[in-house]
A and B are shown apart, each in its own frame.
Chain A
Amino acid sequence: MFIVPTHPIPPLVRLPLQTMLKDIHAEINRLAKSKGSKPKFRKVFQSIDKDGGGQVDVSEFVEALGTMG
């Protein structure tokens, strides 16, 4: 028996750097957005910084990019 996916799987696309940066920028701002107050960048940063060291290293950064896309 075959499992037929109901939703089409989007293809993997290679985007130009500017487009990708724009998307990342928009996504971070969307996540940080809060009602009636300043955007909570700290919350987003802490969710990326898994080990809580106060700095995001390359592996954490790649993981965050993966969850965004």
Chain B
Amino acid sequence: MCACACLLPRRFKLSVRQVKQISLVFDADGTGNIDYDEFVRFCQFKDVASAVAASKAIKKKKKKPSNQVEERQPGSAFVPGGGGGGASKAAPAKGGMSFSPQELEVSRAQTRVFWGCPPLLHSLISRSLWYLSPH
């Protein structure tokens, strides 16, 4: 390898995508801005791989949903009373719809009844729900 290669200054050619990727590594909490703590966190790691891994771990923690309504898929098995029963802690979502714990519980019960029925009853319920719904 040529020794003079290291003497030449290297010039970056950054695309918008690369800038975004780099800023995402710094911006662990996903606010769009890099604050001092995030900056220091990135710099204090010995190597870049661990810094990237730590940033991803923080993002995963932040992304965990708090008040998602558990819905049963049509293909999966129905377990009466199972899957998300009990008191739910419904924290208000940022910028999205928020439900009170009572509303969530009613919604869960309706979902359970709805998916647990045989096809004919299923269609009857869905029709009657449609007629009852305000539209």
**Residues of chain A at the chain B interface (Cβ within 8 Å):** 8, 10-15, 17-18, 20-25, 28-29, 32, 39, 41-42, 44-45, 48, 54-58, 61-62, 65-66, 68-69
Contact = CB atoms under 8 A, between A and B. Distances in A.
Interface of B: 8-15, 18-19, 21-23, 25-26, 31-36, 39-40, 42-45, 47-49, 51-52
B12, B18, B44 — which one has the most chain A CB atoms within 10 A of its CB? B12
B22 A25 contact: no
Given A15-B12, A20-B22, A25 B42 contact: yes
Dominant secondary structure of chain A at its interface with chain B: helix
Nearest to A19: B48
22 contacts: A10-B8, A10-B10, A17-B18, A17-B21, A17-B22, A20-B14, A21-B25, A21-B48, A23-B12, A29-B43, A41-B36, A41-B39, A42-B36, A55-B33, A55-B34, A56-B35, A56-B39, A57-B33, A58-B32, A61-B22, A69-B12, A69-B14
B48 A22 contact: yes
Contacts of B40: 41, 45
Contacts of B42: 25, 28
B8 A8 contact: yes
Given A12-B12, A45-B40, A56-B34, 16 more contacts: A10-B9, A10-B11, A13-B12, A13-B13, A21-B25, A22-B47, A25-B43, A32-B43, A42-B36, A48-B39, A54-B36, A58-B23, A61-B19, A61-B22, A62-B14, A69-B14
